């Protein structure tokens, strides 16, 4: 930190912020500081409008909404996929909006996990989100393998981050498939996806990534890097709403591969309603759809993606890095001596869109923040995650958040709460 940060400095940064206008696009409570966009993004007016459009199409057209109306539903998943593709660094036909992270993982592991001979294991890590591990375990057991023996999880040296060297060392001859997070959900570490993909392919291993904590927060180059597959949710940085439909990517070299889990919406579109009992898969990522699209859970994404097209993911990444750098500087400046430890990587190239603070009293501090009109995120056992989101967070928001946190610590306000998580943390 080259200078002491002040409220006036925060206001100056906001004045020169070329993305500041997007804050007015969102529904934000007055005098409330929302720092949890890495768990659930806020509602935008564009998302609301897009949802209302699909409701109106249903109202006006009934079943004919599939092909008529302002936004016909039959090709909706493909349209959303093409609009999401620039954020993934993919070709339009390589992306489809469908399912959820876990159902899409089941689909893609079922498709790409092909154990043969001694190459039977799946490589993951010990810090990844539990749902990913549950899906891997299920798929191993469905193929007749015990997950105790055939799931390999790379160990963390510090409990918060991973070393790419350790992951590469674990790419042994018995690994059939690799699944890793792009950004670790607890610490916010950004892995080197390009390097890991190249190393996996040198060894003939299929590799995929869970982009839950990176899509919409930073640029990707999935096609150029040769990543085999990826999955993500759209309700975090992409602001599609609670339980919003997820997305998946499959590199074009795998087009024509039979889906591991077949369903009629994976059909070639002009064949789908022939009602044949032999699937003719789409010649795109659309082949990996299973069931009918959830239109009302997909529609908000269309409006949200308009904002990303206008802002540009490169500019959003620059502001995100600046906001999180400002936040870390303020933690060091204002909260020194209160027991906080920054456990996310400091370097820009290794950091996602949120910062992670370790504290022994993390659960009760998060409760105190909520009472003081700050929405943080708690992750067991002792992590406070804070995500100032480039589209709707200001530098002044970050300044005020840290000042509120300082007040809570100075006055020991957190002590009135139990140091246990709420049902939804």
Read off the pLDDT of residues 61-104 as tens digits, 9 standing for 90 and up.
999 999 999 999 999 999 999 999 999 999 999 999 999 999 99
pLDDT at 418 (0 to 100): 86
Residues 193 and 206 reside in one and the same domain? yes
Q: Which residues contact 220 (CB under 8 A, 6 or more apart)?
A: 87, 88, 89, 90, 182, 193, 211, 214
Is 2 inside any structural domain? Answer: no
Residue-number span of the structural domain to which 200 is assigned:
49-309
Same domain, residue pair 412 and 275: no
**180 shares a domain with 136:** yes
Verify that 291 and 354 share a domain, yes or no. Answer: no
Binding residues: 101-102, 129-132, 210, 213, 235, 264, 292
* Residues 397 and 347 occupy one common structural domain: yes
**Taking residues 295-308, what's their average pLDDT?**
98
Q: Rounded to an integer, what distance in angstroms lies between the CA atom of residue 251 and that of residue 223?
A: 6
Buried (b) or exposed (e) across 291-306, using 16+ Cβ within 10 A?
Answer: eebbbebbbbbbbbbb
Phi, psi of 249 (to 5 degrees): -130, 140
On whether both 100 and 232 belong to a single domain, the answer is yes
What is the number of domains present in the chain? Answer: 2
pTM of the model: 0.96
Q: What is the pLDDT of residue 95?
A: 98
257-279 pLDDT per residue, tens: 999 999 999 999 999 999 999 99
Does any domain span residue 232?
yes
Residues 342 and 244 in one domain: no
Q: Given a cut of 70, is residue 2 above it in pLDDT?
A: no
- pLDDT at position 1 is 52
Nearest to 98 by CA among 278, 287, 254: 287
Same domain assignment for residues 371 and 284? no
Q: Of 291, 309, 327, which one is at a domain's C-terminal end? A: 309
DSSP string covering 294-345: -HHHHHHHHHHHHHHHHH-HHHHHHHHHHHHHHHHHHHHHHSTTTT-EE-S-
422 falls within a domain: no
d(CA 234, CA 174): 34
The alpha carbon torsion through 262, 263, 269, 271 (nearest 10 deg) reads 80
Q: Which of residues 256, 289, 309 is at a domain's end?
A: 309
The binding site for pyridoxal 5'-phosphate comprises 101-102, 129-132, 210, 213, 235, 264, 292
Residue 66 lies in a domain: yes
Which of 227, 223, 224, 225 lies closest to 207, judged by CA? 227
Show Cβ contacts of residue 301 under 8 Å, excluding neighbours closer than 6 positions: 47, 50, 80, 84, 97, 234, 238, 240, 244, 245
pLDDT at 367: 97
Which domain-ending residue is among 275, 309, 343? 309
CB atoms within 10 A of CB 203: 14
Q: Are residues 259 and 349 in the same domain?
A: no
Is residue 237 domain-shared with residue 376, that is, in the same domain? Answer: no
The Cα-based distances of 385 to 108, 325, 357 in angstroms read 29, 14, 6
pLDDT by residue (tens digit) across 205-243? 999 999 999 999 999 999 999 999 999 999 999 999 999
Q: Residue 423: is its pLDDT beyond 90?
A: no
Is residue 113 included in any domain, yes or no? Answer: yes
Q: What's the mean pLDDT when you consider all of the chain?
A: 97
Domain membership of residue 423 (yes or no) is no
CATH assignment at residue 84: 3.40.640.10
Please, what sign has the CA dihedral across residues 420, 127, 235, 305?
A: positive
Q: How many residues belong to the chain?
A: 425
Q: Mean pLDDT over residues 397-412, rounded? A: 98
State residue 424's pLDDT score. 75
Sequence-distant (≥ 6) Cβ neighbours of residue 167 within 8 angstroms: 123, 125, 154, 180, 191, 196
> 342 and 244, same structural domain?
no
Q: Please list the helix, strand and coil fractions of the chain in percent, rounded to the nearest 5, in that order.
A: 45, 15, 40
pLDDT for 420 equals: 85
pLDDT reported for residue 419 = 82
* 130-159 residue pLDDT tens: 999 999 999 999 999 999 999 999 999 999
Query: Does residue 361 sit in the same domain as residue 281?
Result: no
Whether 285 is covered by a domain: the verdict is: yes
Q: Which of 353, 381, 382 is nearest to 190 (CA)?
A: 353
Q: Is residue 240 part of a domain?
A: yes
CATH number, domain containing residue 374:
3.90.1150.10
Q: 330 pLDDT exceeds 90? A: yes
């Amino acid at each position: 930190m080259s200078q002491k940060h002040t409220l006036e400095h925060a206001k100056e940064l906001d004045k020169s912020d070329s993305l500041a206008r997007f804050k007015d696009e969102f529904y934000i409570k007055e005098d409330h500081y929302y720092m949890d966009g890495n768990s659930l993004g806020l509602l935008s007016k564009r998302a609301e409008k897009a949802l209302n459009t699909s409701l109106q199409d249903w109202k006006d057209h009934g079943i004919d909404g599939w092909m008529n109306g302002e936004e016909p539903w039959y090709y909706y998943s493909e349209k959303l996929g093409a609009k999401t593709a620039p954020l993934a660094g993919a070709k339009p036909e390589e992306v489809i909006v469908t399912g959820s992270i876990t159902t899409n993982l089941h689909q893609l592991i079922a498709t790409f996990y092909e154990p043969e001979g001694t190459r039977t294991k799946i490589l993951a890590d010990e810090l990844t989100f539990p749902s990913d591990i549950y899906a891997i375990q299920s798929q191993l057991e469905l193929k007749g393998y015990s997950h105790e023996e055939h799931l390999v999880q790379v160990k963390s040296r510090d409990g918060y981050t991973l070393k790419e060297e350790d992951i590469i060392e674990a790419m042994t001859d018995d690994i059939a498939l690799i699944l890793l997070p792009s950004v670790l959900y607890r610490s916010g570490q950004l892995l080197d996806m390009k390097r890991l993909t190249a190393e996996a392919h040198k060894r003939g291993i299929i590799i995929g990534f869970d982009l839950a904590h990176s899509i919409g927060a930073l640029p990707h180059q999935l096609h150029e890097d040769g990543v085999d597959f990826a999955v993500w949710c759209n309700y975090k940085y992409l602001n599609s709403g609670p339980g919003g439909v997820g997305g998946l990517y499959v590199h074009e070299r795998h087009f024509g591969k039979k889906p591991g889990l077949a369903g009629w919406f994976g059909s070639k579109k002009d064949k789908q309603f022939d009602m044949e009992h032999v699937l003719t898969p789409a010649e795109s990522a659309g082949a990996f759809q299973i069931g009918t699209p959830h239109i009302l859970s997909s529609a908000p994404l269309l409006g949200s993606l308009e904002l990303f097209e206008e802002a540009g993911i490169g500019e959003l990444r620059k502001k995100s890095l600046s906001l999180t750098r400002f936040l870390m500087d303020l933690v060091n400046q204002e909260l020194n001596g209160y027991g906080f430890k920054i456990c996310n990587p400091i370097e820009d190239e290794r950091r996602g869109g949120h910062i992670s603070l370790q504290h022994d009293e993390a659960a009760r501090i998060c409760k105190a923040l909520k009472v003081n009109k700050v929405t943080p995120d708690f992750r067991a056992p002792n992590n406070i995650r804070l995500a100032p989101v480039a589209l709707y967070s200001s530098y002044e928001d970050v300044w005020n958040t840290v000042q509120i946190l300082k007040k809570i610590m100075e006055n020991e306000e957190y002590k009135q709460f139990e140091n246990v998580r709420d049902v939804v943390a």
